[in-house]
Amino acid sequence: MHRYYFIDSSGEDTNLQLYSLKQAKHQWATLQDDLSAGDQVEHFHERCVFLICTIGLSVSQLLGQNNPEPSDRVPSPKSIFDSLVDRHRLDSTLKSKFKEFIDTYDHCRHFGLTNDGSRHWQVSQVTLDKTRETYEFGLLVWDTVISIFRRDPKNELDELDLSVVQDEP
């Protein structure tokens, strides 16, 4: 039973990764609106970190749901992404870019006290540019994965338009 693949999440079936993507897109749009309104944005750093966590969550869920080699345990997002890059002969530089993306996501979602203070320092380095870079790469991962699955006519992805997904109810 594929309960988490549905484009329409209005019934008992759902699409957790698409919902997370919608939330990341809403967060990004709201942050952009607030930035254009003035210099001071309330909770700016927190919102950037939250946005990174949300786009990272959506990508992690997307990859887990589309793991090309199901096993007893869902592999790490990096392993799944690397496998997709290899299997579909995509640009191999995507692997190093994904590693940076997933490391940034991991820093933001697993921050806390470390003996050397490194994790707090890593999270403190999140800037608007880093947030934008992470967000945009997350969208690229989505586009890449969906384009792979669009190649199979059995997949019902004709109605999925990632550019307007945040506007849908």
Sign of CA dihedral 40, 42, 46, 52: negative
Residue 13 has what pLDDT?
A: 58
75: left (phi over 0), alpha (psi -120 to 50) or beta: beta
Q: How many domains does the chain have?
A: 1
The answer to whether position 71 is within a domain reads yes
Does the structure show a pLDDT above 70 at 43?
yes
Section 139-152 average pLDDT: 90
The answer to whether position 39 is within a domain reads yes
- Greater model confidence, 104 or 14: 104
Q: What percent of the chain has pLDDT over 90?
A: 50
Q: Give the structural domain span for 41.
A: 18-150
Does the structure show a pLDDT above 70 at 93?
yes
CA distance 144 to 85: 9
Residue 7 has what pLDDT?
A: 54
pLDDT tens, residue by residue, 48-72:
989 999 999 999 999 988 887 778 8
The answer to whether position 7 is within a domain reads no
Residue 140 has what pLDDT?
A: 97
Q: Which pLDDT band, with edges at 50, 70 and 90, does 20 fall under?
A: very high
The answer to whether position 12 is within a domain reads no
The answer to whether position 8 is within a domain reads no
The answer to whether position 136 is within a domain reads yes
The answer to whether position 98 is within a domain reads yes
Q: What percent of the chain has pLDDT over 70?
A: 89
Residue 87: count other Cβ atoms within 10 Å of its Cβ.
11
Q: What is the mean pLDDT of the chain?
A: 85
The answer to whether position 96 is within a domain reads yes
Domain of 50, CATH number, reads: 1.20.120
Highest mean pLDDT among 11-20, 49-58, 67-76, 145-154: 49-58
